[in-house]
Structure 1
Amino acid sequence: MWSYYVYLKGAINTYLEDPKQVIETLAEVRPTAMVSVPRLYEKIYATVMNRLETASVLKKLMFKKALETGDRYYNTLKEGKSVPFGLSIKHKIYDKLILSKIREVVGGPKNFFSAGGAPLEQSIEEFFFSCGLLICQGYGLTETSPMISYNTPGCFKFGTVGKPVPDCDVRIADNGEVQVKGSQVMKGYYKQPEKTAEVMENGWFKTGDVGEFDADGFLKITDRIKDLIITSGGKNIAPQHIQTLIGKDFYIEQILAIGDRRKYISALVVPSFEALETWAQRKQIPYTSMEDLVEHPDVIAFYQKRITYHSKPLAQYETIKQFRLLPNAFTVETGEITPTLKIKRKNINEKYKEIIDSMYE
């Protein structure tokens, strides 16, 4: 759909053969607009934050001040106000020294970024915005052709997927499910009447997603209904929020929060192997295989510290009490994720049942 839109507008679309080369390709192509899953933005953010960890106190302070200045500057413009002279001067200085360099990482200035397919952590949206890069999150499904709602450069709110598109009715059912009705909604699944009946009711399509509208009419998606965790203590927990919060870490590639009908939340964590090996070599940790490395006490302690740090915004009952580091990534080939990088929770629960059970012994 994005490709057709690009062609309609007379623009050039660039396709990426190897996702690992995305940063190099961005610098080469310097696109004016881009659509991506949140993982790309998370990786860029994590890389910047990781470099900052080893910076001097002065550089850390300057970076913080630069982001604060950028945030004030762009929010002033967003509100349609004139930028005060002092703020304008400060922004020009910080932009030249710091913010422009971050924009160069993604190939320079952009008209806009677009994100979809999974939630993007609000702090990452705010980080890019402070640097002069707007990420517009949207929401939709194949069954809705595909857009249901989106943020635009002229009307956006971080932490949401925007307002419904024209001629699209969206309602929140009693169980919190987002339901959609409109001309873009499918008639049904081809030659599958029973499956169609499961998701269609009087023209309303049941998305399977949990969401809510805020006071300004912006839609926020919480999680998938089938993924919601209800602990043995009766706590309702949205695992996607936990996974998004922890998964933005530079040293974490993938994470799955677990805990349905169990006493507490646990997690399976796939490290960012390249980053972990670099850290291990720097710390002179001996290992003969990835299986050996992820079981090393120093590595486990390192990840515990990082998980604890990112868990600060969570309620106590949402925090990860146990976790296991896995020596292999979740892949499409092994049936653990979809081609669009969505985690297949059921498959992973079955494959790693023994490991999961060990976290509750």
Structure 2
Amino acid sequence: MTHRTLPQLLFEKADKEGREVAFRQKNLGIWKEWTWHKYYREVESLALGFQEEFSIQAGDRIGIIGDNRPHWIVTELAAQSIGAVPVGIYQDASPDAMAHCLHECEPRILVVEDQEQVDKLLDIIDSFPTIESILFYNEKGLRSYSHDKLMDLKNVQSIGRTRASEDPSFFEHQIQKVKPLDIAFITFTSGVTRHPKAATFTHTNLIQTALSIHEVDPVKADDDYLSFLSLAWICEQVMAVGLSLTRGMTINFPEEPSTILNDLREIGPHLIQAPPRTFENIWTRFQIRMNDSTRLKKKIYTLTESGIEKNARAKLSNRSVSFLSKISYSLNDFFMYSAIRDHLGLSRLRRAYVTGGRLNKDAFEFFQGLGVNVKQTYGTVETTGYASIQRDHEWSAEGAGKPLPGLSMSIASRGEIQVEGLQVFAGYFGGHPVTEFSTGDYGKILDSGEIEIRGRMEERLALDSTDGRSSSEIETELRKSHYLQEALVFGEGRSYLTAMVTIHRASVGRWAEKNQISYTSYRDLTMNPEVIELIRDQVVEMMASLPEESRIKRFVILPEELRLSDGEMTSTQKTVRRTVEKNYKRYLAALYNDGGQFDTLSNLYSEQTNEGEIVPVILLDRSQGVA
């Protein structure tokens, strides 16, 4: 299939399986189906409308902004069909981030979902004279808007339908002109360590990555997939576009981001992918629910949890289990595990990919023990999202699987991971083509062939005592606690390790209520002495699994949750370290300042900052408080 393009695959699907379901979109509580034939006709009308109304040429860029909807993918395929290049822009990007993306790729047209995106763009549109029009496909709230660059997408499609009726075979001939090595998509890197870059991908990149995943984990035409991660993310492109067009699985779109969990239960997909924090949040919410249940249910769950742990350990160590253990697991699965999976919407799930990072060991074992086939993966934007996936029966919490077929991975100097193959992206926009890529991550290849990721090269802690650990490895250990949401570890060039953490609002809030601790805000919780003691105990417990020299010695609880709007988080739920350091530089200074006042009763080192704010630094080693 790599000798074909995505629009050509769509044409074949519509021609051979036109009545089969390609999409489902939930609207007002009802799932509405799109057949492959409808999908194709919608793409045809929009592509021809682009040509007729805007004279779009090969190589022109068309930006797309919005939640996951059929129209998002229709716009993408329409652009590709005429040789134009769709540019995925995250719908929750701030105006500044959006402006950066527009400056980098200079689109002629923007296709957006609704009023929210239109409002953002109208504030900055005058700075981008190359943008000729903003097309919207949800008119709610926009009927009274009057702007010469605003236009309803339906009007463009109407123009395209007229063109199609005049020459029914024109579009079919048009898509045959597109070549596999043409640029098919542009998206932006996460910007965790530097400003986001525009990465380009060919049709071959997306198709080959999808086929390689299918070779490892076969996908069926009647499989269901729930698409809830931004379509601007390359991993979502591989699933919702690549695997959909190559294997025919049905893509289901939730009604709203807030309804994802309910929609997950209704669809019961066969395949999902999500960042570690999504799985960790499901795990944490489940634990909260169990802790709030009746005494009898708690007792039953405690017994069940023991079985889950035993099953997980047996699976992950590839140990054979006794006949009695198998009987016990089968009974538990029938009476408890299956009900839990069904409640979580995972009853039909064959595999769940952890993307964009490593799921912590406790959460990984919870899902595996429950019978959910969670798999650690590794990849970067530049490897078209996926470079390695764990094989069935080769699970481990620490590893990231073996390389995908067609991709080779090697370890360069200082442990940096390098990749080469058809999945490697075409290069950064405006730059030179590439065939191999140095990832900026470091790790090692185990004797089994599995890759083990340690972290980013710049995250290597320059402490002789840390045994080459990265800050991200220690952060993953901290996030095992249900009471911690985010963690950032520091220590480069220092004599000891420290951390900034944020608390899990729901977990800590529920704990405070049960302990009759009143509070009015998140900040109140972070400053409460009993909460501080709780978090200190949690950090001590999480650090116990690490060697003494790799444990943090001090930490602070940040007074606010990290926010996407402040540039502290990416749209793919990664922490932007440089922004957090900048926003909380006084806290970082306090962690390494020994001039404050130590309170031996509370284990706090209360540090006075230059701005007059008191930063409570929590000590894990009381002797450090003695100046």
Which TM class, normalised by the smaller chain length?
A: 0.7 to 0.9
From 227, 230, 245, the counterpart of 2:459: 227
Match of 1:338?
570
| 1:277 Cα deviation after fit | 2.3
- Partner in structure 2 of residue 47 of structure 1: 285
Q: Does residue 311 of structure 2 align to residue 70 of structure 1? A: yes
Q: Which residue of 1 aligns with 2:442?
A: 210
Aligned to 1:324: 556
Contact 2:454 2:469 in 1 (8 A): no
Q: 2:263 aligns with which of 19, 25, 30?
A: 25
Rg comparison, structure with higher value: 2
Please give the secondary structure, in 2, of the residue aligned with 1:257: strand
Task: Point out the more displaced range, 227-236 or 247-256.
Answer: 227-236
Task: Measure the CA separation in 2 of the matches of 1:73 and 1:225.
Answer: 34
CA contact (8 A) 1:69 1:87 kept: no
Structure 2: which amino acid aligns with 1:190? F
Shift of 1:321: 1.8
SS in 1 for 2:428: coil
Instruction: Supply the distance in 2 between the matched residues of 1:72 and 1:328 (Cα, whole angstroms).
Output: 37
Aligned pair partner of 1:185 in 424, 430, 437 = 424
Q: Which residue in the other structure is 1:96 paired with? A: 334
In 1, the alpha carbon distance for the partners of 2:351 and 2:589 equals 44
The residue that corresponds to 1:165 in the other structure is 404
Moved more, 336-345 or 232-241: 232-241
Residue identity opposite 2:439 in structure 1:
T
Q: Residue 13 of structure 1: SS of its match in structure 2? A: strand
State the alpha-carbon separation in 1 of the partners of residues 569 and 416 from structure 2: 23
Pairwise CA distance, 1:300: 0.4
Q: What do residues 192-212 of structure 1 show as CA deviations (whole Å, max 9, x unaligned)? A: 35xx8xxx7xx5311000111
C-alpha distance 64-147 of structure 1, shift in aligned 2 (>3 A): closer
The yes-or-no answer on 1:282 pairing with 2:506 is no
Quick one: structure 1 residues 74 and 260, their matched pair in 2 at CA, closer, same or farther if it must change by over 3 Å? closer
Q: 1:240 to 1:166 in 2, by over 3 A?
A: same
1:122 pairs with 2:122: no
Give me the whole-angstrom Cα distance separating, in 1, the residues matched to 2:487 and 2:255.
Answer: 25
The percent of aligned pairs where both chains have the same amino acid is 26
Q: Is contact 1:43–1:248 with CA below 8 Å preserved after alignment? A: no
For 1:293, give the aligned amino acid: L
Could you tell me how far apart the structure 1 residues matched to 2:465 and 2:254 are?
Answer: 46
> For 2:264 and 2:357, how far apart are their aligned partners in 1?
22
Deviations 1:88-111 (A, max 9, x none): 321222213332232123212411
CA–CA separation in structure 2 for the residues paired with 1:164 and 1:338: 26
CA–CA separation in structure 2 for the residues paired with 1:38 and 1:321:
26
Distance verdict in 2 for CA 1:289–1:125, change over 3 Å? closer
Other-structure match for 1:152? 391
Q: Is the 8 A contact 1:231 1:259 kept in 2?
A: yes
1:241 maps to amino acid: E
Unaligned runs of 5+ in 2: 1-237, 594-627
Q: TM-score of the superposition, structure 2-length normalised?
A: 0.52
CA contact (8 A) 2:498 2:591 kept: yes
Cα deviation 1:40-91 (Å, max 9, x = unaligned):
2112222344455676785465124422553477579x78x8x764333212
Moved more, 15-24 or 127-136: 15-24
Give 1:270 shift: 1.4
Greater shift in the superposed pair: 123-132 or 109-118: 123-132
The farther-off stretch of 283-292 and 249-258 is 283-292
- Quick one: which amino acid aligns to residue 334 of structure 1? D
Q: Deviations over 1:304-337 (max 9, x none)?
A: 1111112221111222222221232212210112
Deviation at 1:238, TM superposition (A): 0.9
Partner in structure 1 of residue 492 of structure 2: 260
Alpha-carbon distance between aligned partners in 2 of 1:170 and 1:343, rounded to the nearest angstrom: 26
Q: Say which of 240, 250, 256 aligns to 1:3.
A: 240
- More displaced 10-residue stretch of structure 1: 65-74 or 111-120: 65-74
User: Which letter does structure 1 place at the counterpart of 2:275?
Assistant: V
SS at 2:331's partner residue? helix
Q: Which residue of 1 aligns with 2:370?
A: 131
Looking at structure 1, the residues matched to 367 and 423 of structure 2 have their Cα atoms a distance apart, in angstroms, of 32
Count of equivalent residues: 351
Q: 1:139 deviation in Å? A: 1.6
C-alpha distance in 1, partners of 2:549/2:455? 17
Please list every run of 5 or more consecutive structure 1 residues that lacks an aligned counterpart in the other structure: none
- The change in CA–CA distance for 1:257 and 1:17 in structure 2 (over 3 A counts) is farther
Q: Give the match for residue 527 of structure 2.
A: 295
Q: Distance in 2 between matches of 1:71 and 1:155?
A: 13
The residue type paired with residue 136 of structure 1 is K
| d(CA) in 2 for partners of 1:267, 1:153 | 36
Q: 1:101 to 1:327 in 2, by over 3 A?
A: farther
- TM-score with structure 1 length normalisation? 0.87
